[in-house]
Chain A
Amino acid sequence: MLRLETCRIMNGDYAVEADLEIAPGACVAVIGPSGAGKSTLVEAVAGFLPVTRGRILWNGAELTRQAPGKRPVAMLFQDGNLFPHLTVAQNVGLGLHANLRLSASEWRRVDAALERVGLGGMGTRKPAALSGGQQSRVALARVLVQGRDILLLDEPFAALGPALKAEMLDLVAELARESGATVLMVSHDPNDARRIADQVVLLADGKAHPPQQTAELLDNPPPALKAYLG
């Protein structure tokens, strides 16, 4: 279980407060008006922003002071998820060892992950030679070999068209189900939440509300959410 215990997260001159729990294996969307601090919340879980009060716990173990790379967390960003000077296979291999010293069996795992996301045989290409959707698949293959318990998505598919984005979200849901990972995804589109999220965390007025069932919340939005959804 991912637990944010009376957390206060500083991002420059504003703060986000969160006191909530997310069940293991759940797929949770974080929605709210832009500027409310959606990215701030997931960046704190990833360890990029300091938590000035409270603690973050995963299955009872405290993460609050851990370095980002030591947390059981994999994250995909809005852009810049791949290194353009490394090949597709190297980009995925970073998920196993950041210094890229992989054994033969580890390289086979990389190939298998690429196979799984539908990019078999493309390992030697550079990201620039791939389409936007294929680049997203490479990033997901890396998440797959990382095998972390928590997957954070900060709108990594925002630049894709609607059909492609839906395809990627379905792939995320599928991969998460197979590995049992807990997914926390930032979104400004309620349809994304309806598509794959069981629950929704609403962020408004600097406060993250505990998760609620997606359909329930979106069908009967509280005033803050209603103002945002229009």
Chain B
Amino acid sequence: MAGRAQPVSAYPGISAALLVAALILGTLGAVALRAEAGSGFGASDWAALRFTLTQASLSALLSVGLAIPVARALARRRFWGRSLLIALLGAPFILPVIVAILGLLAVFGRAGWLSGLLGLFGMEPVQIYGLHGVVLAHVFFNLPLATRLILQGWQEIPAERFRLAAQLDAGPLAMWRLLEGPMLRRVAPGALAVVFAICLSSFAVALTLGGGPRATTIELAIYQAFRFDFDLGRAALLSGLQLLLTGAAALVALRVSAGEGFGAGLDRAVQRWDGQGALARGLDGFWIVLSAAFLLLPLAAIVLAGLPGLAALKGSVWQAAGNSILVAALSTVILLMLALPMAAAAAAGRSGIAELSGILGLAASPLVIGTGLFILIYPIADPFALALPVTALVNAVMALPFAMRILVPRAREVLGRYGRLSLSLDMQGWAFVRRVYLPRMRAQTGFAAGLAAALSMGDLGVVALFADPDFATLPLQIYRLMGAYRMEAAAGAALLLLVLSMGAFWILDRGGRWHAEA
């Protein structure tokens, strides 16, 4: 070993990484073995592939295209509530998809606010189901992410450049050529690739707003092949296709993406001298109001629609909520047991682990892992009886790349700063982990745990595959209520889910920072 000695062993982390790789590749293998028995590609499979690519491309283009003016407006204006709005841009990440969809339906649906407004002018109500509904929901989730990524690009331009541009009396065109153009050429391809990769494996959005032969994603097709036809061979074939697609997209996304938009300090306004004209101010104001309304109206709609339903929640919803809390807790524990040793190993010089988990995490699709696990479990046990632990495990694996991005930089810092001192005190292994590593990692651990709990709480994916009619998590129960057209009960349950997800995130994130010394 040529590198420095480290007070913490890399082996637990390597074992954890191997476990994750075995889970992802093992389930893939199980799927691949089944795929050979399948019957080749049908017309509906090609349609699913086409729709997946179309909606992902449109979602990426629209999200990033709209994020450019929004990020510019946020970067150069200072106004009351600015940092709150920027903090809010992070919220869709942990917002349960099913909750957002109910909110979007309340605003953009047939009986929604927009249709009501159009009706006043004698126009037809808008139609949300199908391609444009799927794209709308994806833009709702990914416009904030793209905005944060591009905002980060603005923040990374040194302040001196703006002063220089001001001295040169650069107009909008010159600003574009000097600063904005080069920055966007660097940042925008990454943002496009990330949003595209995320939208490729869209399941819950397509399940609720898509469907039918013309609006089915591959993930949804896997689910349908599995749930409705119980055609394991076809599910396996589609899984292979999905993995190929997401794997390629993940590689591209990681290659071209610069940051991940989690960075602190995004609410710091750059002092600028350009864009002081009335037109520029007006346009910036327009974009800020529009984006804030687009984000806030569906959330407000959920709260308004959910409050009356909240009082009338049935026992089955509370039971589903209990299941969701169990899944989220178990998933968070699994995630930390994987991610903390892996972050330590990555910081101790095995940086390949961090990259590997990033690629596998982006490429892995919950439905593919779920299908594989089902195939593996089926001969030895009843897969439906294992819905809860399987959901927790898959959720933990899906949250792993995000947790690693939060934990690894801090772990590097801790080892870099205290590694030598600990070694010289002969403090190694468990003593180092307990006395130094865990306490120093607490704030980041809390943040990662909060994300994992919220993501798991709101997840509607693999659980739809495994649950029998007697078992439901809260998101699945909401989906069933929607399917039965019991919209008031669904809205009430959605508000409950929103409170649970945000609450779990808030408690864990706060808990990590409670009395934590810098």
A residues in contact (CB < 8 Å) with B: 43, 46-50, 67-70, 73-75, 77, 79-81, 83-86, 94-95, 98-100, 126, 128, 146
Contact = CB atoms under 8 A, between A and B. Distances in A.
8 contacts: A48-B423, A67-B426, A68-B5, A69-B424, A70-B426, A81-B421, A85-B516, A99-B431
A47 B435 contact: no
A100 B434 CA distance: 11
Interface string B129-172: 00000000000000000000000000000000000000000000
A14 to B, nearest CB: 14
Given A85-B439, A99-B435, A80 B418 contact: yes
B442 to A, nearest CB: 8
A193 B270 CA distance: 47
The DSSP consensus for interface residues of chain B is helix
Contacts of B422: 98
B420 A98 contact: no
A64 to B, nearest CB: 13
A43 B419 CA distance: 13
Given A47-B5, A99-B435, A80 B421 contact: yes
B23 to A, nearest CB: 34
B255 interface: no
B518 A98 contact: no
B426 A77 contact: no
A47 B423 contact: yes
B380 interface: no
Interface string B2-37: 101100000000000000000000000000000000
Contacts of B423: 47-48, 67-69
A178 to B, nearest CB: 21
Given A98-B432, A99-B434, 9 more contacts: A46-B420, A48-B5, A68-B423, A68-B424, A68-B426, A75-B420, A79-B417, A83-B436, A128-B517
Contact of A77 (B2, B420, B434, B440): B420
A62 B424 CA distance: 17
Interface string B433-455: 01110011000000000000000
Contact of A95 (B4, B418, B425, B432): B425
A68 B424 CA distance: 5
Given A68-B424, A83-B436, A126 B431 contact: no
Contacts of B418: 80, 83
A128 B428 CA distance: 25
Nearest to B419: A48
Nearest to A81: B421
B58 interface: no
Nearest to B439: A85
Rank and list the top 10 A-B pairs by shortest CB-CB distance, nearest first.
A69-B426, A98-B427, A68-B423, A99-B431, A80-B417, A84-B517, A85-B439, A75-B424, A98-B431, A98-B425
A151 B435 CA distance: 24
A86 B427 CA distance: 14
A1 to B, nearest CB: 21
Given A67-B426, A69-B424, A98-B422, A83 B518 contact: no
Contacts of B439: 83, 85
Contacts of A86: 435
Contacts of B424: 46-47, 68-69, 73-75
